Structures are given as C-alpha cells and as structure tokens.
Structure 1
Amino acid sequence: MRPPASRHFATCGICQRRADGIGYAPEGRMPAVWVCNECGPERARQATRLRAFDAVERQAFRIAARRAGEFLDTIGKTDFALLTREEYEGFLGAFQAHFVTEIRRLVEGEAIG
C-alpha cells in the first residue's frame, strides 16, 4: 500500500507525464503529490486516499499493454525486431495514451467505489 507513484515535482504522481506545478499535500503535510493539469488536485486527493494505488497502477498497465498490442495487430506485426522506428514509436505512443486514460479512469472509479 503506497500513495501515488511519484512525489517528484517534475513528474505527475498519477499518470507519470510532466507535472505542471500543481501539488496536493495529503492532510496539508509535505511532501506534496505533484500532478499535471489534466490529472489535477482533485484526482491527486482521490489517489492519495486509495488503499492500493499499486494495484490500480498495475491494472492500468495491463489494459494499456493489451490496447497497445491491438495497435500491433492493426499493422500486422508482433515481432519488435521487425518494427520500423515509426511503428515502434506508434506502439509506445499507444501504450502511453491508453495508460494515461486508464489510470485516470481507475483513480476516479476506485475513489468512488
């Protein structure tokens, strides 16, 4: 059981993208959980209240990996050694986009549920 993944001011503690100087300090105590504009302080508050942020993070990772795999299916390649640079970057971009979407969705859903 641990709080959101990063307490570093430059990395969003929820989605791991670039933080935008917005921080949430649980119960007003430092260190703050730094977040990007899209995740915002409300999601940071929700994330810090989760009992098992690690489990939420792993679930988002699994969903994103599956969806990034679907990208590989659309280009008809599953062997990373055969991917062009553009295809590999497309795969990574698909993974990142889906991870960000899923981690935000799951943080909101877990906080409600």
Structure 2
Amino acid sequence: MRGPASRHFSTCGICGRRADGIGYAPEGRMPAVWVCNDCGPGRARRAARMRDFDLYERKAFALAAQRAGQFLDTIGKTDLACLSPEEYEAFLKTFQTHFVEEIRRLVEPA
C-alpha cells in the first residue's frame, strides 16, 4: 500500500511536476501530499486516500506510452535513434502531456 508518488514539498505528488506550495495532510498528520495548482487540493485529498497509487501511475504510464507510440506512427519512425532532436523532444512532450492528463483524470475527485 503506497500513497502518492511524492510527498516532497517541491514535487507534485500526483503529476510529478513542480509543486506550488499546496499541501494536504490526511487527518492533519504529516507528511503532506504536495501538489501543483493544476492538480489542486481536491485531487490531493483523493490521492492521499488511495490504497495503491502505483496502480494509477501504471495505468497513466501505459496510456501515455500508447499515445507516444501513436506520435511515432504519425511521423513514420519507430527507432528512437533515428529521430531528430526536434522529433525526440516532441515524442517526450507527447508522453509527458498524456501522462499528466491521465493521472489527473484518474485522481479526479468524485
């Protein structure tokens, strides 16, 4: 049983990006789950109560990997070594964007 990905004050415990000083401590006990403005305290409360946050991360990772693969299909290249620096950056950005969107969707407060 694990909690959110990060309980470090500088890293969002949900999406892994930079935290913005918003934290939620379950039942007022530390350590807090620190989040960015985009994830917000509602998602922090939900994430702190999740029994197996790793499962949600794996689901978000799998979807992001699929979308990044689709990006490679659209440019007709599957060998990462053959990508130009711009294509490689776009590949990574595609993965990161979809991971963040999916993890936030999975942790959306009810």
**Secondary structure of 1:47's match?**
helix
- Partner AA of 2:104 in structure 1: R
- Following superposition, the deviation at residue 53 of structure 1 comes to 0.7
Return 5+ residue gaps in structure 1 as ranges: none
Query: What residue in structure 2 maps to residue 73 of structure 1?
Result: 73
Distance 1:34 1:50 in 2: 15
**Distance in 1 between the 2:50 and 2:29 partners?**
17
Kindly report the root-mean-square deviation, in angstroms, between the aligned alpha carbons of the 2 structures.
0.9
Q: CA deviation at 1:98?
A: 0.1
The code of the aligned residue for 2:67 comes to R
Separation in structure 2 between the aligned mates of residue 8 and residue 52 of structure 1, nearest angstrom? 18
Aligned residues: 110
Aligned pairs for 1:14-53 within 5 A: 14-53=14-53
Take 1:26 and 1:92, find their aligned partners in 2: how far apart are those partners? 34
Shift of 1:83: 0.3
Q: TM-score w.r.t. structure 2 length? A: 0.96
Give the Cα–Cα distance (whole angstroms) in 2 for the partners of residues 100 and 27 of structure 1.
Answer: 27
Q: CA–CA distance in 2 between the matches of 1:10 and 1:74? A: 35
Measured in 1, the distance between the counterparts of 2:68 and 2:21 equals 30
Distance apart, 1:12 and its partner CA: 0.2
Paired with 1:52 and 1:27, the residues of 2 have a C-alpha distance of 19
Cα distance in 2, alignment partners of residues 28 and 76 from structure 1: 52
Partner of 1:102: 102
Aligned-partner Cα distance in 2 for 1:33–1:49: 10
Q: CA deviation at 1:73?
A: 0.7
Aligned partner of 1:55 in structure 2 is 55
Distance 1:8 1:51 in 2: 19
TM-score, scaled to structure 1: 0.94
Give the % identical residues. 75
